[in-house]
Structure 1
């Protein structure tokens, strides 16, 4: 039995089996993966890791399991699933996902099957059942990967705490105490306001933290570096879950020319400048922005670079992340009937459209080219209707 002191939740207890899982190299690697990638260049306190988030998610999963009155074996299965749910995350968390074909959930499944994690888990559980829970399948899947899951609760609380942004404060106690388990998690009507607060928290955290304009610039620069490392075979995309932040930074620093130069810029916070921003309401068919293909983006970058007479790698066209809010479809129990959260909450319905307010397509390039770039009409080079 061990206790871990967590900055957000306080003392967290792990039994001997959970300690055995946590002490594996696969889970210890998460100590070297920043939860918010390069966001520390915007919010200096955002240096928390995937390991902290994992044990925090385990704690909230345990709290929910107790409220749901799950038996001891199921309770333990849920705790262990939460502890290892992010084992497959690549360096700098979600930032590296743009350069690989598999999601971190798929990579977590692969890692568990190929590593000692699977062997340890099989001592007590069905590995197949663990994988189902982590991937959000079955009645227990909603606890770890659902609309109002404990994973999301922890990262909103944790990211808010470490960035100092107050928007991530949510009423976890009311959420956990107003859930019941049938074919999946169902929220009691008394918990609707708490669910609304969680949705609002996500809505405000996107432009403030997750899609902050400077964070997007940094992430775009890093992704271009990572893409080069993957193309050259310096980083193996099929084993991205074996690398940590330090590995990728060291590999990038060792490169010459473009990758090494961009990594030096990131090290010294000499970031590219945003020279163009296209809001969704400025185009006839805004959905086309989200549907731009990699080939279309590369074509636009090449044509802009040719117009400016610069290397095409200096031009970064950044398509916004589609702002999904699955909480809208959360099942809610009201007077014996089960309805969707969006059906009983005017606030949720309003957010359905408002979630696109902050999404924009941006173009970045080095500061030395910014002035001449302002003379061209970027919209002419983008493959969207206007």
Structure 2
């Protein structure tokens, strides 16, 4: 498209084909992180379904609200936030490189739909259900919430008779799976960069992280000085990949370090993990009667599972089969939690060959005493915290450019970055809990013996406090 001025053809962006919309049919909601979010009619068709509204009953941070009272936000507002940021990201690329990249209305709708529905497949209490509960009851299961999201998208469309272009749905589902282990299907190469916006499997920089880092920090009362707006304002597509100005490498590192801080202080807080361990035990006990794990492959049944299962177990006083599960939940309510004994960080030299520590490892390290430990007395939590790329420097997988006049993209080598940044990118923390207060001292001693036997020394920072050891029922 172009206009003629003094006989010269000036190229202009035809925004009518990609950016204009009829605002008469939009709705606006106010979000406490992003402000006003405009919802277009196509996306309202998905939002106004029972399956999407279910996200209101899935807390974003699972059981963390029992330690951080403000962490009661849900997957619903997070999904709206990712939808909004996905739209903002693709519109910024469109404004700066629209003609070059050929971004059209189809692309915009696809990216926004992927952002809206990327978490639709989460189970009760989010990652706890997928990572802690299911492996206990379904050995060897490779179920993922991303794959269930894809199944639920199809189910929602059929169940609610949503009229939508099948090609938009197909590509949106591919974008939802982009960060999983599954390779992208053939045919995504033409606009591969679009698959990096919502769930970035290439380098981990995506609007999903932008939203949950800002939202979780706000809800938990923590400061957040990571500025995702700078990255969105300055990003650029080069050779079908979203790249960033070299001067922003510290901003990108702040993204990953802030995420790691949230994992350490909120997501894997010692008390949060104690509560999670107890609730997972309750779910495992209840599963044979309630059949939660039998619903994970059937979308028509799965969408009915949400955080209300805790209350359902707790109030089913007439069900003898749920007695042990009810008692564990009552203990959580009374703050009679599994007692944290101690923890240690696995030495860096041992990370390559580390295997998860089990209750059996601790019990087998007990020396002769008047009390004989059993595996069911001990709970072990193996916590991995990294900068999103395991033991690798996350900056190594990111492409940078010098300035907007340059057509060259490059990586920043480790010897050229600030010496104040870390040279190790992963922690593995082993925590041990006693399920009975009177066994804290015995389990703590066995845990110390395990460290000496495994590493030749005590790797914990300090001994278990005497006050905790003396605690009894």
Once the two structures are superposed, what CA deviation does each residue of 1:115-144 show, in whole Å capped at 9, x if it has no partner?
Answer: 437876662342221111111244222101
User: What is residue 381 of structure 2 aligned with on the other side?
Assistant: 318
Matched, 1:333 2:401: yes
Matched-pair contact (CA < 8 Å) for 1:33–1:49:
yes
The structure 1 residue matched to 2:231, chosen from 175, 181, 188, is 175
Matched-pair contact (CA < 8 Å) for 1:284–1:385:
no
Once the two structures are superposed, what CA deviation does each residue of 1:321-355 show, in whole Å capped at 9, x if it has no partner?
Answer: 35252443222223533233565862599435154
User: What is residue 201 of structure 1 aligned with on the other side?
Assistant: 258
Once the two structures are superposed, what CA deviation does each residue of 1:43-87 show, in whole Å capped at 9, x if it has no partner?
Answer: 110000001100001111111011110322211111111000000
Matched, 1:129 2:191: no
Alpha-carbon RMSD across the aligned residues, in angstroms, is: 3.0
State how far apart, in whole Å, the 2-side matches of 1:113 and 1:383 are: 53
Deviation at 1:309, TM superposition (A): 4.4
Deviation at 1:23, TM superposition (A): 1.2
Deviation at 1:42, TM superposition (A): 1.4
State how far apart, in whole Å, the 2-side matches of 1:382 and 1:235 are: 41
User: What is residue 8 of structure 1 aligned with on the other side?
Assistant: 33
Matched-pair contact (CA < 8 Å) for 1:288–1:384:
no
Question: Bigger CA drift: 243-252 or 121-130?
Answer: 121-130
| Gaps in structure 1 of 5+ consecutive residues | none
State the secondary structure of the residue aligned to 1:109: helix
Matched, 1:297 2:358: yes
Matched-pair contact (CA < 8 Å) for 2:259–2:387:
no
Normalised by the length of structure 2, the TM-score is: 0.72
Matched, 1:264 2:335: no
State the secondary structure of the residue aligned to 1:320: strand
The structure whose residues are more often helix, as a share, is 1
State how far apart, in whole Å, the 2-side matches of 1:288 and 1:364 are: 24
User: What is residue 165 of structure 1 aligned with on the other side?
Assistant: 222
CA separation of 1:349 and 1:21: change in aligned 2, threshold 3 A = farther
Matched, 1:367 2:367: no
Matched, 1:279 2:345: yes
State how far apart, in whole Å, the 1-side matches of 2:349 and 2:40 are: 57
| Gaps in structure 2 of 5+ consecutive residues | 1-25, 95-102, 135-140, 179-183, 297-301, 457-473
Larger RCO (CA under 8 A, 6+ residues apart): 1
Normalised by the length of structure 1, the TM-score is: 0.87
CA separation of 1:298 and 1:203: change in aligned 2, threshold 3 A = closer
User: What is residue 84 of structure 1 aligned with on the other side?
Assistant: 117
Report matched runs for 1:1-386 at 5 Å.
Answer: 1-69=26-94, 70-98=103-131, 99-100=133-134, 101=141, 102-116=143-157, 123-126=164-167, 127-136=169-178, 137=184, 138=188, 139=192, 140-146=194-200, 147-166=204-223, 168-181=224-237, 182-239=239-296, 240-251=302-313, 254=316, 256-281=322-347, 285-289=350-354, 291-292=355-356, 297=358, 299-300=360-361, 308-309=371-372, 312-326=375-389, 327-328=394-395, 329-334=397-402, 335-340=406-411, 343=414, 346-347=417-418, 350-351=421-422, 353-356=424-427, 359-365=428-434, 366-377=436-447, 379-380=449-450
